Amino acid sequence: MATSTRHQSFVSHIPSARQRAITRMREEQRRQAHVAELQALDSLCNVPPTELRYLVDQCVFRVFAPDTTIISERKPGEFLYILLAGSLRLTLHDKEGHEVLLGVLSRGDCFGEGPLFGDYFRRVGIYTETQCHVLQLSLASVRELLPVMPTFQAVLQTIYRRRLVESTLARVPLFSRISSLERVLLAELLQPLEFPRGSLIVRQGECGDSLYLIEGGQVVVEADGKAIAFLDEGDFFGEIALLAKEPHTATVRALTPLSILALPAIAFDDLLKNRPDFQVQLETTVAQRRANTEQFRHDRDRVTRMTRIMEHGLLRGSHLLVRSPELCLPDCRLCEAACASRHRYARLRMEGVALGQQHVVDACRQCRVGAECVEACPEDAFEWNDKGVLLINDKCTGCGACVPACPYNAITRVPRTTKTANGPLWQLWRTIKAMKARLHSPMMMPLEPVSPTYTHRADKCDLCDGYPDLACVTACPTGALRLVPVEELLPL
């Protein structure tokens, strides 16, 4: 009797078909209500309900207290957010280190979309001003859904492009002092341009028709065929020709694939009329650049130094391994031995490039943009980690395409490490495989998929990623080897 009662009690807890139908109907009603709430937001009003359903199924509701950091400027985000209530401020730092207010977000705004379309270096900080209610979606999930959400993808790309332009303006000291509204209005006048590596952007002696802002990429400035300056993201050029109404005094050439924002001459003149302080800043910059050019014309050592810097890619990354020769012990090379001991093959060479009292060690430059190895790799085997280090992942097949692509001979092709198939996990795998084999007759044994065997892999310095130290620096007994920021070594 007791058993029968327990059975009836168990059965009573099993939902009937009618109850399941009611549950499904209520879930669908809630989903439709959430879709309607999303469609009421300005940024999502044109996104079809079929696409918004994907967001509803993936999002998590979160509440952030005032003065909370949601996304740090120095760390890549992992989520996309939709603001339902409250206000947030977006900030970044310009090239001189000053904090700049990029804008304020309110209900309906999306943020955190940058990693979906940009690279590691395009970031802003996002902080709450009031208590904020947001919907949070993992970028990994959003990235998988974008192919079936074309309208939502277009919305995010529009937001990303606008913020990219505004943040480029904000990083330029010339424009970082103006209000966020003025930057928005100025951004509407800019014309985006793309140039492949090696392109001439402006030519010495030709008339100027625009002020150019570097949105992404790096250029070299040459006067009379000699390198005199290096510019990258957030820098500008072309102002001398516009201000002085004379031909360009230098040639500007793309070192990497280049994204530029061009401000036409007419808009440039209007800007100066409305903001006389801009003209004062520009004239100061022009005077500095003219003096710099004149110095280079009469200083062969500086020209030689700049040429060497360009040829060896010393400005392509953010840090360099630098050696002080006077501190090196004769025939020491403990740093190279330590590197080889940790990675099986030495990833650096001490000879390097002499710059005055310092020698830059030959190793991967960790090129921030336009890395030739990344472009040459057919397997997407190069990737940036969250610390800004360029790594080679497990997708590498050892094809060797990256080796000749690197202009600094920083990549080698080496034999793969042979892993011994012993240990507890391998034994467990063999046991499972044997059990599966007994379930089939010998005549019907299934064929196992054959994985391609790669004998080699690409190898380069990754600044000892995954280790707490740099093997070469730790092994140096005299402190002769250091990892230093490019700006410290080359304050150009």
Backbone angles phi, psi at 197, to 5 degrees: -55, 135
Provide CATH code, domain 17-170: 2.60.120.10
Amino acid, single-letter form, for residue 156: L
Average pLDDT over residues 370-395: 88
Q: Which residue has the higher pLDDT, 457 or 96?
A: 457
* Per-residue pLDDT, 307: 84
Count of residues making up the chain: 492
Alpha carbons 70 and 187: distance in angstroms, whole number: 26
* Per-residue pLDDT, 44: 92
Backbone angles phi, psi at 133, to 5 degrees: -105, 125
Alpha carbons 155 and 48: distance in angstroms, whole number: 12
And the tokens for 106? 């309110």
Q: Is the pLDDT of residue 420 over 50?
A: no
* pLDDT confidence band for 447 (50 / 70 / 90): very low
Q: Please state, for a pLDDT cut of 90, what percent of the chain lies above it.
A: 40
Min mean pLDDT across 29-43, 217-231, 439-453 is at 439-453
Alpha carbons 189 and 178: distance in angstroms, whole number: 16
Helix axes 150-171, 49-58, angle to 10 degrees: 70
* pLDDT confidence band for 448 (50 / 70 / 90): very low
Asked whether the beta carbons of 249 and 287 are under 8 A apart, the reply is: no
Each domain of the chain, given as residue ranges in start order, spans 17-170, 189-299, 319-417+454-489
* Per-residue pLDDT, 443: 45
Q: Is the pLDDT of residue 142 over 60?
A: yes
Contact partners, residue 250, CB within 8 Å, separation at least 6: 202, 204, 221, 222, 223, 228, 229, 293
Same fold yes or no, 189-299 and 319-417+454-489: no
* pLDDT confidence band for 451 (50 / 70 / 90): very low
Q: Is the pLDDT of residue 444 over 50?
A: no
And the tokens for 135? 């919907």
Min mean pLDDT across 106-115, 126-135, 180-189, 387-396 is at 180-189
Q: Which residue has the higher pLDDT, 15 or 322?
A: 322
* DSSP notation for 124-181: -EEEESS-EEEEEEEHHHHHHHGGG-HHHHHHHHHHHHHHHHHHHHHHSHHHHTS-HH
* pLDDT confidence band for 341 (50 / 70 / 90): very high
Min mean pLDDT across 38-42, 171-175, 176-180, 433-437 is at 433-437
What average pLDDT does the chain have? 84
CA of 207: how far to CAs of 169, 425, 430, in Å?
24, 70, 74
* Per-residue pLDDT, 131: 96
* pLDDT confidence band for 442 (50 / 70 / 90): very low
* Per-residue pLDDT, 452: 57
* pLDDT confidence band for 76 (50 / 70 / 90): low
* pLDDT confidence band for 182 (50 / 70 / 90): confident
* Per-residue pLDDT, 164: 80
Alpha carbons 215 and 117: distance in angstroms, whole number: 14
Average pLDDT over residues 470-492: 87
What are 77-86's pLDDT values in tens digits? 789 999 999 9
Amino acid, single-letter form, for residue 330: P
- State pTM to two decimals: 0.69
* Per-residue pLDDT, 120: 42
Q: Is 390 exposed, middle or buried (0-12, 13-18, 19+ CB in 10 A)?
A: buried
Nearest to 171, CA basis, from 183, 159, 156, 189? 183
Beta bridge partners of 37: none
Contact partners, residue 262, CB within 8 Å, separation at least 6: 190, 191, 192, 193, 210, 211, 212, 213
Average pLDDT over residues 407-414: 93
What are 243-299's pLDDT values in tens digits? 888 899 899 999 999 989 899 999 888 888 888 887 887 888 888 878 877 777 777
> Regarding the domain delimited by 189-299, which CATH topology (the fold level of the hierarchy) does it fall under?
Jelly Rolls (2.60.120)
Alpha carbons 389 and 322: distance in angstroms, whole number: 17
Q: Which residue has the higher pLDDT, 67 or 177?
A: 67
Place of tokens 């009618």: 18
Asked whether the beta carbons of 313 and 373 are under 8 A apart, the reply is: no
Is the domain spanning 319-417+454-489 CATH 3.30.70.20? The answer is yes
* Per-residue pLDDT, 275: 81
Alpha carbons 311 and 229: distance in angstroms, whole number: 13
